[in-house]
Amino acid sequence: MPDGFHRISEIFDKEPGLSRIRQVIEQSDIVNNFGKIFPDLIKIAEAVKVERKCLFLRVPNSTWRSELKFREGQITKKINNYYKEERINQVRFIP
Can you give the residue ranges of every domain in the chain? 8-94
**What pLDDT is stored for residue 26 in this prediction?**
75
Per-residue pLDDT tens digits for 78-93: 999 999 999 999 999 9
Q: In a 10 Å sphere around its CB, with 0-12 CB exposed, 13-18 middle and 19+ buried, how is residue 71 labelled?
A: middle
Q: From CA 30, how far away is CA 49, in angstroms rounded?
A: 8
**What pLDDT is stored for residue 1 in this prediction?**
47
CATH of 8-94, one of 3.30.300.180, 3.40.50.620, 3.40.50.1370, 3.40.640.10: 3.30.300.180
pLDDT tens track of the chain, all 95 residues? 456 787 877 776 777 777 777 777 777 889 999 999 999 999 999 999 999 999 999 999 999 999 999 999 999 999 999 999 999 999 999 88
Prediction pTM value = 0.79
> Phi/psi of residue 93, each to 5°?
-115, 135
Q: Is the dihedral of CA 75, 42, 95, 26 positive or negative?
A: positive
